[in-house]
Amino acid sequence: MLNKTTDVLMNSSPYRASFTREQFLFHETRITAGLMCEGLSEEEIIARILQENLFQYPAEKSVKRIALACLHRLKAMENDALVQALVRESSQTAKQICLYAMMKQYRMVWDFMITVIGEKYRLKETAFGRMDFHIFFIRLQEQDSWVAAWSDSTVSKLKQVLARILVENEYLDTCRADHLNPVWLNPVLEQAIRSNHDEAALPAFNCFSLG
């Protein structure tokens, strides 16, 4: 009965905690994007990553799972031009594209980046810290029974992953930083976000222009 109840809660929620096992995966996603640009199928991409050890992992155990996660993120953007830009643009721009891909793939990352980070930029409020993570998860737990059922350790891991994502993209200098840095949205990504009709995501990148 417990498992059935858990399944009902999980299936009724848009939120997943699976990215605690995956992290930001910048290099892996960029490698996968390069193989997609070569026109390889999903199966061929995974086989190539495994055969050539492209991720440079010490063991193969998690390679297929991570490769699939990268593929899902890239597909979630529904924008071939962004996949190509991820390969050819600077690391800073490519990381922004990876962040957008995570936002598209994971509802929690989407909500966090828009309702917390985007709102901070909208209000020109640079102070940031643990309390912002705490308030975000309290609100999620109040509105979603599946999130409310997560253990404290799961929530703690999610906070750590979100903090590292912010550091990777230079929103924060370190995971313990107490203020947000200004960020600049690359026009390549801004144009793609607008063409995807995802204007709601723009504040997450400190972008408030009308286009």
Cβ-proximal residues to 78 (8 Å cutoff; 6+ apart), any chain? 104, 196
Q: Which pLDDT does position 2 carry in this prediction? A: 47
DSSP state of 173: S
Ranges of the chain with pLDDT below 70:
1-5, 211
Q: pLDDT at position 9, please?
A: 78
CA distances from 154 to 112, 128, 134, 193 (A): 16, 22, 13, 31
Q: What is the CA radius of gyration of the chain?
A: 18
Contact 171, 96 (CB under 8 A): no
Question: Which residue do the tokens 């490519």 mark?
Answer: 94
Provide the pLDDT for residue 3: 63
In the chain, DSSP finds a helix count (H) and a strand count (E) of 12, 0
pTM score, two decimals?
0.93
Predicted confidence (pLDDT) per residue in 84-109, tens digit:
999 999 999 999 999 999 999 999 99
Task: Answer whether 201's CB lies under 8 Å from 108's CB.
Answer: no
Q: Which pLDDT belongs to residue 105? A: 95
CA distance 34 to 20: 24
Question: At which residue do the structure tokens 């723009």 appear?
Answer: 202
What pLDDT is recorded for position 174? Answer: 96
Going by the DSSP 8-state scheme, the letter that residue 202 receives in this structure is G
| Alpha carbon distance 87, 164 (integer Å) | 22
DSSP single-letter state for residue 179: B
Number of alpha carbons in the 13 Å side-chain half-sphere of residue 181: 14
* Gap between the Cα atoms of 165 and 98, Å rounded: 10
The residues pairing with 127 across neighbouring beta strands, listed in sequence order, are 179
